[in-house]
Structure 1
């Protein structure tokens, strides 16, 4: 069953950002016809394609799929996170700039500091969540 809100949002975001269907389709590596089918609610895009669109527009999946498009908010809303993918899985992670800095600093840290950080984090959250 087609998601009418998604189809509406796809068209509005594309127009708001000044993309043609062809230009956007090329940017997300699909055909113009395939993209047109999503805007007209003939087909629903898969999760991978939805995440690519969220990256293009710097919005959350919820904003794209469920929240009605608002002309007043679209360019002001810069996503507070970056979409990342967990290696070897289909997991999608949403990381803030601060979290990315933490990960990069952790990777660059000496072995002893990495283990100290891991120990402190474990003590703060023994469940590992």
Structure 2
């Protein structure tokens, strides 16, 4: 398997991550066509590359199935639980970077609306916007 497409080894996944996922889901229903191993690696691939879900490589399975599993797990908090559990047990090192407007200098005209509107020009001249000029 390509290390870029599957950065998590199957042995590590089965030992550390799969038990956490199994606790959050029931085994009822038909067996899934896409394994949790494929889903996890697909999520990591999308996060790393920033591609849309529709452009997901076919080795992960059908993109919509992967997205629905990601969405369902997100709503249940499964992925966050996995990340915090792995970090607490020193199996993962997470660096979080937050960027906002205080991190980058923006030109003074960079934050406003471009151009002017008729309403804005009339207000600048001192007449009300619905004035007939009488």
Q: TM-score, normalised by structure 1?
A: 0.28
The structure with the largest strand share of the pair is 1
Look at both structures and tell me which one has the larger radius of gyration over its CA atoms. 2
